[in-house]
């Protein structure tokens, strides 16, 4: 008995814990990442008027949602301050030297590329989501509270904008 080629070969489900995030310029942020997303994507719609009913037709602009990354903050706050200083340099709230320091630091470029590897049920990578020209737009608050009886470790949340993302095979071919 032969099966047709349109049958599903792998009947395992994708696990929400099967990922590995890499931020090119800040590997310390990458190491402690514990939540990431594949951002939503939407196509704009144009309207074609007719005497009877307006007809929607595909637009020509894609809109990408923000990339949101959550990471455990290390005890020395190195990963949190790396993102904080990146934001500080981009926004230079006190003087232009803050921007110059960012531009002249090891970053050289104000952007970073990033990738999110999706892992299978055996925790082996199966594909990669590649983000280009990424930069942070917000970093969450860390609330210290001495009244807590039980505590959880701090989680940093950073939102990124980027120019585009691609879904790639492990050899870099766009799928």
Task: Please give the pLDDT value at position 1.
Answer: 46
Total domain count for the chain?
1
Lowest mean pLDDT among 87-91, 100-104, 114-118, 123-127: 100-104
Q: pTM for this one?
A: 0.84
In order, the DSSP letters of 48-63 are E--SS--EEEEEEEEE
- 1 in a structural domain: no
Which of 97, 132, 99 has its CA nearest to residue 115?
132
Residue 120 resides in a domain: yes
CATH (domain of 133): 2.30.110
> pLDDT tens across 113-122, in order?
999 999 998 8
Mean predicted lDDT score pLDDT of the chain: 88
Q: Is residue 11 part of a domain?
A: no
175 inside domain: no
Q: Does 10 fall in a domain? A: no
In a domain, 9, yes or no: no
User: Is residue 90 in some structural domain?
Assistant: yes
Rounded CA separation 140/150 (Å): 21
> Measuring CA to CA, how many Å separate 144 from each of 20, 66, 151?
29, 27, 10
Domain limits for position 116: 19-168
């Amino acid at each position: 008995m032969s099966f047709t080629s349109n049958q599903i070969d792998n009947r395992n489900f994708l696990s929400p814990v099967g990922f590995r995030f890499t931020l090119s310029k800040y590997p310390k942020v990458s190491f402690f990442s514990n939540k990431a997303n594949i951002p939503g994507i939407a196509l704009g719609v144009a309207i074609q008027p007719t005497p009877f009913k307006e007809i929607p037709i595909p637009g020509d602009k894609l809109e990408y949602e923000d990339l949101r990354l959550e990471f455990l903050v290390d005890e020395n706050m190195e990963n949190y301050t790396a993102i904080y200083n990146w934001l500080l340099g981009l926004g230079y709230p006190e003087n232009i030297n803050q921007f110059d320091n960012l531009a002249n630091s090891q970053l050289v470029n104000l952007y970073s590329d990033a990738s999110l590897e999706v892992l299978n049920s055996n925790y082996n990578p199966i594909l990669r989501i590649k983000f280009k020209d990424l930069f942070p737009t917000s970093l969450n608050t860390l609330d210290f509270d001495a009244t807590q009886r039980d505590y959880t470790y701090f989680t940093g949340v950073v939102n990124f904008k980027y120019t585009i993302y691609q879904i790639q095979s492990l050899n870099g071919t766009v799928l």
